[in-house]
Structure 1
Amino acid sequence: MADPNRPVTGYPAANPQGNGYSANPPPSGTAYPYAAAPPPPSGAYYGGYQNNAYYPNNYQSDQESVRRATCLRRIFAFVIGLVVIFGTITFIVWLVLRPQLPEFRVDSFSISNFTLGNNSLVSFTSEVRLTARNPNKKMTLTYDHIEAVIFYKSSSISETTVPPFYQPTKNETSLAANFAAAGSFVEKSVLDGINGERGKNGNVNFNFRMLSRVRFEAKAWTTRRRYLKVFCGDLIVGIPTNGSVGALTGGPRQCRVGI
């Protein structure tokens, strides 16, 4: 007959202690049967969470990136602020001064002793008189390095310089550009074009251009020198065949002005 106190095979034996611990603990010095955590791999990256361990270098790197980004944002904001301030000051100055380009008008254009040789040489003397007007109420104008050119269509036939001058506010100044060509060479197309126009009705269509450096000034406020371009087109001059002085026809002509 089987012993009723014998445990059934396949079930763990009852713990007579009743406290969840084994009645027979392992002897002193015996290691517990738990697997030890593996050490961090050789050459592991230090600076973050690695193998459940925290390394502070990554935090320092993040702080450095944040400081760098903050510095760049401040520099960017400073540059934008300077641009806004400069633009605002410029706009206010423009509203107060309202700078305007000067106005130019050709009053007369005379030509004398005009001759064209068969060897494409041209000779003449000419004077172009202009009126320059400063429309500004608060800004004066200073002109220097003034160059003037007479063109037939797009070909230059004579050049000269004009003395510098100064214009107060709301001022009109008369100036003259004197030209002299003594046997200057011109292309055959220019020679044929002038002879063709002159042979029809005695008139020749010239163009006049002037290039100058100009400075706008208003008390303590001064601009840097800029190049002013003056173009006066379709200046029809009657040139008599008897060698007398030819003159501008149709009255004064307004010029285009730009910077």
Structure 2
Amino acid sequence: MADHSRPVTGYPQPLNPHPPSSAFPYHRPLPRANPRATFLRRLTAIFIATFVILGAIILITWLALRPRRPHFRVDSLSLSKFTLSTNSSTLLTGNWDLRFTVRNPNHKLTIYYDAMAASLYYKGESISDTSVPPFVLGTREETAAKATFAAVSRYVDRWVVEGINWEKTVRGSVNFNVRMAGWVRFRAGAWRGRRRFMRVYCGELPVKVSGKGGTLVGGPRRCVVRL
């Protein structure tokens, strides 16, 4: 016979207990990748990698060939039909015949010269302009070239006339300057370097003037070349 005097010590187990919340975890759906954005990223990466590889190849080739600047040397500068007018207008007339040598010091590179513009100056005053035809120099080659400048009754500032007359009287010679500029290309076999702009400066060319003519004194002069 059951003892009804004993206290109740528990509750009855639920008939249908709810499962724990961890039994069915919730997963947020992953965002879908944009195919177009993925393609653009990959394409950009390919372009960057290709650019870096090509740049490295060009740099290594350039360093291996070790391109050097060409050498320019003035051999002679002769003056003829030279006159100065110091009347009401300051006029200058004369012909300058420049002879120079160009040398390619490179062992592996051929240099291609486009037509170069050449100018004759007295100090900062331009006297005459001309051009030098295109030419090619193979490895370790040199060639002779020339440029002829002409001025016929060209107006110049009075300080030019006074400066030339002072140099003729005091020093016996007049210093002229020549500047040349043009595009050059370096090539070795199938490899072609990019075109580069070249500047040549042949300064302080002393011409001994006697009457209406004159010649370069002091021997050949090296020019400064910049690329």
Residues 1-259 of structure 1 correspond to what in structure 2 (within 5 A)?
19=12, 59-60=30-31, 63-64=32-33, 68=37, 74-75=42-43, 77-118=45-86, 119-240=89-210, 242-243=211-212, 245-259=213-227
User: Structure 1 residue 67: deviation in Å?
Assistant: 8.6
1:31 is aligned to none
Matched AA of 2:71: E
User: Structure 1 residue 98: deviation in Å?
Assistant: 1.9
CA distance in 1, matches of 2:194, 2:56: 19
**Structure 2-normalised TM-score?**
0.79
Gaps of at least 5 residues in structure 2 are 1-6, 15-25
Secondary structure at the aligned position of 2:139 is classed as coil
User: Structure 1 residue 196: deviation in Å?
Assistant: 2.3
RMSD of aligned Cα (Å)? 2.8
**Counting strand residues as a fraction of each chain, which structure ranks higher?**
2
Matched AA of 1:252: P
- RCO higher in structure (CA 8 A, sep ≥6): 2
User: Structure 1 residue 175: deviation in Å?
Assistant: 0.7
CA distance in 2, matches of 1:18, 1:87: 82
Secondary structure at the aligned position of 1:161 is classed as strand
User: Structure 1 residue 77: deviation in Å?
Assistant: 3.7
Larger Rg: 1
Secondary structure at the aligned position of 1:246 is classed as strand
Q: Deviations over 1:177-229 (max 9, x none)?
A: 11111111112232222222222122111111111222222221123433221
Q: How many residues align?
A: 207
Matched-pair identity in %:
45
Gaps of at least 5 residues in structure 1 are 1-13, 22-52
Q: Deviations over 1:34-57 (max 9, x none)?
A: xxxxxxxxxxxxxxxxxxx9875x
**Structure 1-normalised TM-score?**
0.70
Matched AA of 2:61: V
